[in-house]
């Protein structure tokens, strides 16, 4: 047989392997698609509005402020990131002029963005470099598969998981009710300031205005969509730093359907950090473009001004979306600025222009958030930050990072691929790609300043850094897989084998990723929702409920372990547990934080079936007790067996794991 005939046979074999892998993929993911297709038909409006919300504002900004050609495979991911800064910035602006948002205005915004994005240009635009259609199609398919997997994982949630979702949901609901920023957390908590970052919650509020969805569901939907969109965003970041589309596509595949992070964020309700990292990638790309343009020998100042305006907007949006991730962003800008200084600056004039550009637009971004920064004085966040800076009270955070957590976040196969990718970048002297480990190292120092003799450890937790490590590992792993793919393509059958390997990886990832959410962290469950309806109908409006609580954050705050934590949100009845923001916001009640802590401590000091516990409950005005089906952590204060056997309590509700007692 001639070599050409052998090549044809082997090529056909590769095609067959790809088709077989695709068939296996469809078979394994059949439950997902059986759920996704009917869900899409019934929820087409929320799906379409979420897509437009996360695309149109960013496309409009690119049209206005990005003069250079931008291929579609970069334009769309960048638009996703930029779209996420528009709602928080508009809410801050509207708060200054007294404008309140509603459904009509939310739709009007999207209409204006669509007109800005797609209005015919007065003259032909400079053509962007062509995007490989197959590459773009593969990226779209990866994103769709990732989205189906993410939404399938949370299909049964009635509210976000874990404790953070409590104050995230309440904050988003208050944005909807007030039509924008607020100060009073009533009727959900006696708090009188808002200093918590609100960028992600503003997207959930917008989704509610656009569709009428309950805010609690909008929060989960937007969070899971952002999780899936990590695939095109990591594609964009990898492409911009390595210049390799194959590496970028492999990175998208890994983060979309193979890696644990950020898919597992849903188990923790860690959506605000995810929202921050969604903005982060766009910020990195914009600042790279700005600094590259400013370092050119003869830059056009109007072009610098447009990129600078976009950099200022992304900086401001980043601050409003997540404080800690803002530090991640600052670390990247510093690392990239040093890279530009080392590789492109050859004169004092160029140096002065680069420094002036960076400082000017960085300060402009800060100035845009000045009304918000002034708000921070009203709450306790600045005092908490000062306390962390004055003392390294967070050094114990290092020892809280367990080996099992590291193994879950950075499994051996992903770590080995990333290490190999790092080696390849060093061997090729691809300094731009090597900014990734430099960036990670600087973030590590920012989280652990005690390593270089500085205070402030604990302001940025090592946990927050570790769960963001996919931003480093996935691009480096993509470099390795792209190199392997390049070697395979030299073989007669390698052209088809590469896609087959990709489909096989997707098959493996989709066989477990949609089921990886830890439902043990689902503190509020559908059975709780039914109980809330009963409470509203059968108990007095002024009734107080005692719910399960435990100490958290170094015994400084009390948190909830089941659905009772959201009882006030759903029923309006008072409980012993406000949202965790009672630790950072001010209250009209003097020493409210101490009051909440003392009230819980006095009751928890006695077993629930003792006369002392009953006396403490009555003294605090509690007439009912609530125990939900969840238990996170599993050891809860309210013990149904002891309480049912006690003469102090009367069981008035017991259904599907929810029990409610009345104090006799």
Phi, psi of 627 (to 5 degrees): -130, 120
Quick check: 315 pLDDT over 90? yes
| Distance from C-alpha of 184 to C-alpha of 188, rounded to nearest angstrom | 9
Instruction: Give percent of the chain with pLDDT exceeding 90.
Output: 67
H-run or E-run covering 560: strand 557-560
Instruction: With beta carbons less than 8 A apart as the criterion, state whether 312 and 85 touch.
Output: no
Quick check: 129 pLDDT over 70? no
pLDDT at 12: 46
Instruction: With beta carbons less than 8 A apart as the criterion, state whether 262 and 272 touch.
Output: no
**Is 297 in a helix, a strand, or coil?**
coil
Phi, psi of 16 (to 5 degrees): -60, -40
Treating both helix axes as pointing N-terminal to C-terminal, what angle do 592-604 and 611-619 enclose, rounded to 10 degrees?
160
Tell me the pLDDT tens digit for each residue of 75-112. 999 999 999 999 999 999 999 999 999 999 999 999 99
| Distance from C-alpha of 308 to C-alpha of 186, rounded to nearest angstrom | 40
pLDDT confidence bin for 450, thresholds 50/70/90: confident
Q: Which two tokens stand for residue 388?
A: 């962390």
Quick check: 440 pLDDT over 90? yes
Spell out where 174-330 has E strands: none
Return the closest-CA partner of residue 75 out of 134, 139, 121: 139
Q: What average pLDDT does this structure show over 311-334?
A: 97
DSSP-derived pairing of the beta strands 624-627 and 544-547: parallel
| Distance from C-alpha of 441 to C-alpha of 433, rounded to nearest angstrom | 14
Least confident piece of the model among 216-225, 248-257, 381-390: 381-390
pTM for this predicted structure: 0.91
Q: Which two tokens stand for residue 581?
A: 């923001």
pLDDT confidence bin for 14, thresholds 50/70/90: very low
DSSP-derived pairing of the beta strands 544-547 and 574-575: parallel
pLDDT at 132: 76
Strand partners, 624: 545, 662
pLDDT confidence bin for 4, thresholds 50/70/90: very low
Transcribe 504-542 into DSSP letters.
Answer: HHHHHHHTTGGG---GGG--S-HHHHHHHHHHHHHS-TT
Transcribe 540-553 into DSSP letters.
Answer: -TT-EEEE-EEEET
**Is 55 in a helix, a strand, or coil?**
coil
Close Cβ partners of 277 (under 8 Å, ≥ 6 residues apart)? 230, 262, 322, 325, 328, 468, 471
| Distance from C-alpha of 184 to C-alpha of 186, rounded to nearest angstrom | 5
Number of alpha carbons in the 13 Å side-chain half-sphere of residue 656: 10
Instruction: Report the greatest alpha carbon distance in the chain.
Output: 94
| Distance from C-alpha of 345 to C-alpha of 297, rounded to nearest angstrom | 9
| Distance from C-alpha of 461 to C-alpha of 268, rounded to nearest angstrom | 15
Instruction: With beta carbons less than 8 A apart as the criterion, state whether 285 and 236 touch.
Output: yes
| Distance from C-alpha of 628 to C-alpha of 613, rounded to nearest angstrom | 20
DSSP-derived pairing of the beta strands 574-575 and 649-655: unpaired
pLDDT confidence bin for 336, thresholds 50/70/90: very high
Instruction: With beta carbons less than 8 A apart as the criterion, state whether 223 and 216 touch.
Output: no
| Distance from C-alpha of 256 to C-alpha of 50, rounded to nearest angstrom | 18
Least confident piece of the model among 50-54, 515-519, 609-613: 515-519
**Is 411 in a helix, a strand, or coil?**
coil
| Distance from C-alpha of 225 to C-alpha of 262, rounded to nearest angstrom | 11
Strand partners, 575: 545
Tell me the pLDDT tens digit for each residue of 141-161. 899 889 988 998 898 899 999
Q: What average pLDDT does this structure show over 467-493?
A: 89
Tell me the pLDDT tens digit for each residue of 381-425. 888 877 777 666 555 555 567 888 888 888 999 999 999 999 999
Tell me the pLDDT tens digit for each residue of 339-395. 999 998 888 888 889 999 999 999 999 999 999 999 999 988 888 877 777 666 555
| Distance from C-alpha of 23 to C-alpha of 31, rounded to nearest angstrom | 14
**Is 624 in a helix, a strand, or coil?**
strand
Instruction: With beta carbons less than 8 A apart as the criterion, state whether 662 and 644 touch.
Output: no
**Is 654 in a helix, a strand, or coil?**
strand
């Amino acid at each position: 047989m001639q070599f050409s005939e052998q090549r044809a046979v082997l090529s056909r074999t590769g095609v067959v392997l790809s088709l077989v892998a695709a068939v296996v993929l469809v078979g394994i993911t059949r439950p997902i698609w059986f759920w996704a297709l009917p869900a899409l038909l019934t929820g087409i409006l929320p799906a379409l509005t979420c897509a437009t919300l996360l695309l149109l504002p960013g496309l409009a900004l690119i049209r206005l402020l990005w003069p250079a050609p931008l291929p579609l495979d970069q334009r769309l991911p960048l638009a996703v990131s930029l779209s996420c800064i528009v709602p928080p910035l508009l809410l801050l602006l509207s708060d200054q002029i007294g404008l309140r948002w509603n459904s009509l205005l939310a739709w009007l915004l999207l209409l204006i963005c669509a007109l800005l994005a797609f209005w015919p240009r007065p003259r032909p635009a400079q053509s962007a470099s062509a995007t490989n259609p197959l590459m773009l199609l593969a990226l779209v398919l990866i994103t769709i598969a990732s989205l189906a997997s993410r939404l399938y994982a949370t299909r049964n949630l009635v509210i976000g998981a874990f404790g953070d979702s409590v104050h995230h949901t309440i904050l988003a609901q208050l944005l909807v009710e007030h039509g924008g920023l607020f100060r009073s957390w009533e009727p959900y908590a006696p708090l009188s300031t808002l200093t918590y970052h609100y960028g992600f919650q503003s997207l959930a509020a917008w989704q509610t205005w656009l569709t009428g969805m309950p805010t609690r569901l909008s929060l989960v939907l937007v969070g899971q969509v952002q999780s899936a969109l990590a695939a095109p965003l990591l594609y964009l970041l990898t492409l911009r730093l390595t210049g390799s589309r194959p590496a970028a596509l492999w990175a998208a595949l890994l983060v979309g359907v193979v890696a644990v992070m950020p898919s597992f964020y849903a188990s923790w309700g860690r959506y605000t950090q995810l929202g921050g990292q969604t903005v982060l990638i766009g910020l990195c790309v914009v600042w790279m473009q700005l600094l590259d343009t400013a370092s050119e020998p003869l830059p056009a100042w109007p072009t610098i001004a447009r990129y600078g305006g976009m950099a200022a907007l992304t900086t401001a949006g980043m601050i409003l979306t997540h404080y800690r991730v803002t530090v991640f962003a600052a670390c990247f800008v510093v690392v990239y600025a040093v890279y530009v200084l080392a590789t492109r600056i050859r004169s004092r004039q160029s140096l002065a222009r680069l420094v002036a550009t960076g400082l000017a637009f960085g300060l402009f971004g800060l100035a845009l958030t000045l009304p918000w920064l002034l708000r921070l004085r009203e709450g306790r966040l600045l005092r908490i930050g000062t306390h962390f800076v004055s003392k390294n009270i967070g050094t114990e955070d290092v020892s809280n990072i367990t080996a099992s957590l590291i193994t879950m976040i950075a499994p051996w196969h992903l770590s080995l691929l990333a290490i190999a990718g790092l080696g390849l970048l060093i061997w090729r002297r691809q300094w731009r790609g090597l900014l990734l480990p430099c960036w990670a190292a600087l973030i590590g120092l920012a989280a652990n300043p005690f390593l270089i003799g500085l205070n402030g450890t604990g302001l940025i937790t090592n946990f927050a850094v570790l769960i963001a490590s996919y931003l480093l590992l996935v691009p480096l792993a993509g470099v390795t897989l792209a190199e392997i793919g390049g070697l395979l393509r030299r073989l007669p059958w390698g052209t088809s084998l590469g896609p087959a390997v990709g489909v096989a990886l997707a098959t493996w990832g989709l066989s477990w990723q949609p089921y990886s959410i830890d439902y043990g962290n689902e503190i509020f469950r559908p059975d709780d929702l039914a109980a809330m309806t009963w409470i509203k109908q059968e108990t007095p409006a002024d009734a107080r409920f005692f719910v399960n609580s435990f100490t958290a954050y170094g015994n400084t705050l009390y948190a909830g372990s089941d659905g009772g934590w959201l009882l006030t949100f759903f029923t309006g009845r008072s409980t012993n547990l406000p949202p965790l923001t009672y630790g950072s916001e001010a209250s009209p009640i003097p020493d409210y934080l101490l009051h909440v802590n003392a009230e819980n401590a006095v009751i928890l000091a006695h077993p629930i079936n003792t006369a002392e516990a009953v006396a403490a409950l009555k003294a605090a005005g509690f007439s009912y007790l609530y125990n939900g089906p969840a238990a996170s952590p599993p050891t809860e204060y309210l013990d149904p067996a002891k309480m049912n056997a006690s003469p102090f309590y009367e069981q008035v509700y017991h259904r599907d794991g929810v029990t409610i007692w009345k104090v006799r």
